[in-house]
Amino acid sequence: MAQQNLPTELLQWLFRVLQAEYIDPRTTYHDAAVALQAYPTLKPRTRVYTSEIGESRLLLNLHGSLPANIQGRTYKIPVDLWIPHEYPLAAPIAYVVPTEKMVLQPGNHVDSSGRCYLPYLASWGQSEQQSTVITLCSSLSTVFSREPPVFAKPAATTGQQRQVSTPAANRQTTASASSPQPVLPPKQYETHSSAIQSPTPALPPKQTDQTNGTAADTAISPPPLPPLPEELRSRMIQSPTLNKMNEESQIIKPTFDQPNIMDGLADSISSVSISQSSRERESASERVQSMLQNIFESDVSQSLSKFNSDANQIKYAIDKFAKIFEYEFHNLESINRQITENETHLNTAITTAQDTIVKAENFKEINTDEVICAENVVLNQLYDLVAEDQAIEDTIYALTKAHDNGLIPLNSFIKHTRNLAREQFMKKALVVKIADQLGMQQ
């Protein structure tokens, strides 16, 4: 049986949906996760289940297929497993759900509605066996292998499909119609995708634009600004003002050994032009820096928001698991105290029982005739006479039954009965005499 690692998102969803309604969500979560890992063809979901008495409840449903080895081949039997809120005290409810190309075959373990009845479900929680979902799946696979619950539909229902099929397909359909065999569902239930099988990958580090590193390195203004995006960089290169600034920055002023008045005028005009270019350069640099600052602040705010959200989720999960741990810890302490108390009571009871046994072994044997006696000798004689009278009465009754059944002959019956009756008469006469002497009413 191939096993797979369940994705973290699926486990978190499964743990979350079981908390509200289920009486033992931890056990239910564990058993369902083990079954999903052992049977990749099963998928979890929540659906409303309506019972036979009309009661509707939102339950965890494991739907998909279970393998069944029939005549040396493995087939997928579509099933639905409903996990009740009382699990593990109550057994799951299993149904066979045939597809459109299958027909349900009721049997000893499956009724006409598809519900499964197994001895394993009937004895759920009563015996020493381990009552879990994965064991139920194994039992269903074993039963389905012995008694297939579904078969292929008759060939008459698929006549139109045979008209467009190949000759080989026609021969295969004819063979299947002559001897119906269990078939696979038309579409096998897919296992979890590769995206689910592996944990969610970590977020990649934020990429930085390195194409403009050379242009940023050539900037002289401290501190160095982040590299410009491609769009702003293209706008800056196409800007006439900045192009003019670049051209003017490349102009080299001529120097003269003997300046004159015209040279002084040219120098003043050149200084004014350079100051204007410098102001435009500073203005453009401030705008670019402002835009970069806005982009940086936007990225930082988004990153901080996501970081705060992740931190809150992690904190919530830590708090929740801390509460679960505290709850389980208190339960274990309570169980430990109860076990200690029970052990103390049991040891005390065992000690008391042993002392009682020792005392009873030291007691002398009691003679009931000595314990139960009358006030005087006459009354004791009266008790004995009455007891002997009742014994003779029972003996005569037994002789009568034996004679009626033919066990003793008539002569022996009459002889013994006469002797017993004579003895009984004498004892009754003595009883009457003692009663008269004591003044007792007969």
Q: List, for residues 73-106, the tens digit of each pLDDT value.
A: 899 999 999 999 999 899 999 999 999 988 998 9
pLDDT digits (tens, 9 = 90+) for 194-245: 333 333 333 233 333 443 444 334 333 344 444 444 544 454 444 444 454 4
Say whether the peptide bond before residue 88 is cis (omega within 30 degrees of 0): yes
Residue 435 binned pLDDT confidence (cut-offs 50, 70, 90): confident
Count of C-beta atoms within a 10 Å radius of residue 120: 19
Residue 418 binned pLDDT confidence (cut-offs 50, 70, 90): very high
pLDDT at residue 266 is higher than 90:
no
Residue 2 binned pLDDT confidence (cut-offs 50, 70, 90): low
Give the torsion sign (CA, 205, 207, 213, 219). negative
Read off the pLDDT of each residue in 355-378 and give the average, rounded to a whole number.
79
Residue 144 binned pLDDT confidence (cut-offs 50, 70, 90): very high
pLDDT at 125: 79
Measured distance CA(292)–CA(285) in Å, rounded: 10
pLDDT at 217: 41
Residue 323, token pair as written in the block: 């509460």
pLDDT digits (tens, 9 = 90+) for 280-299: 888 888 889 888 888 988 88
Read off the pLDDT of each residue in 134-147 and give the average, rounded to a whole number.
92
Read off the pLDDT of each residue in 405-419 and give the average, rounded to a whole number.
93
Ranges of each domain in the chain? 8-151, 331-364, 377-438
Element (H, E) at 360: helix 261-362
Read off the pLDDT of each residue in 339-364 and give the average, rounded to a whole number.
90
154 to each of 98, 100, 111, 143, how far by Cα in Å? Answer: 14, 12, 20, 24
CATH of domain 8-151: 3.10.110.10
pLDDT at 218: 38
pLDDT at 304: 87
- 315, HSE (Cβ side, Cα atoms, 13 Å): 6
**Residue 400: CB partners within 8 Å, gap ≥ 6?**
413, 417
pLDDT at 273: 64
pLDDT digits (tens, 9 = 90+) for 42-78: 999 999 999 888 889 999 999 999 999 988 889 999 9
Report the chain's C-alpha Rg in angstroms. Answer: 51
pLDDT at residue 174 is higher than 60:
no
Whole-number mean pLDDT of the chain?
Answer: 76
Read off the pLDDT of each residue in 380-387 and give the average, rounded to a whole number.
89
Read off the pLDDT of each residue in 353-379 and give the average, rounded to a whole number.
80
- β-strands 102-104, 150-152 pairing: antiparallel
Measured distance CA(304)–CA(322) in Å, rounded: 26
Q: Percent of the chain beyond pLDDT 70?
A: 70
Nearest to 50 by CA among 118, 125, 113: 113
Element (H, E) at 47: strand 42-50
11-25, 139-153, 189-203: which range is least confident on average?
Answer: 189-203
